[in-house]
Amino acid sequence: MKISPSKLISLLFFIFSGYYLYTAYQIQVFAFDENAPFNAKTFPIYLGFAGLVFSALYTILPEANPTNVDLKVLDYKKTIGLVILMILYGLTILRAGYFLSTSIFLVASYIILGERKWIWIFILSFPFVAIFMYLLHGLLNIYLRDPFLKYIGIMG
């Protein structure tokens, strides 16, 4: 039996709703609240059931307007590349600081997407981030911790 991707997603949502409902029942409420008409787990329980109902209906009933996606034309390489780059950005931002990690993130993402105009790549990374940081510091008084700039003596 072949299942359409939309139905597969709704099936996954059904499982997710089931897990959500199970977790909702595990929420510890105060003893005096246990039999109250409404407590901390009431709304999540309703949501869990709603999720189960809607996803079950979608999975069982015939699809009104099936969505067809040609999986062959999707650009997995660039998309996964960008996602990995963002994860690396998350890993480095606290260690390397905002300036360096953001600038490198921008340079790498321009290159991943196929940009080869090096002057623009440079302008829209290091100087761009520096100006942005200056605006944040100077105008908005938002302090960004930056170990790298501190190390080279630019920031206090």
Positions in the binding site for other proteins (CB under 8 A):
5-6, 9-10, 13, 17, 20, 23-24, 27-30, 33, 36-44, 47, 50-51, 54-55, 57-58, 61-62, 64-65, 67, 69, 73-76, 78-79, 82-83, 86-87, 89-91, 93-94, 98, 102, 105-106, 109-110, 113-115, 120, 124, 132, 136, 139-142, 144-145
CB-wise, 63 or 151, nearer to other proteins?
63
- Please report where in the chains the tokens 């960008």 appear, as a residue: 82
CA distance 15 to 58: 13
Instruction: Considering the complex, state which of residue 114 and residue 153 has its C-beta at the smaller distance from other proteins.
Output: 114
Amino acid at 119: I
Judge residue 130's burial from the number of C-beta atoms within 10 Å of its C-beta, 0-12 exposed, 13-18 middle, 19 or more buried: middle
Helix H segments across the chain?
Answer: 5-26, 42-60, 76-96, 98-112, 118-123, 126-138, 147-151
Give the chain's length: 156
Between 2 and 28, whose beta carbon lies closer to other proteins?
28
Nearer Cβ to other proteins (65/153): 65
At closest approach, how far in Å is the CB of 145 from other proteins?
7
Report residue 74 as tokens.
């999707």
Nearest-approach distance from CB 152 to other proteins, in angstroms: 21
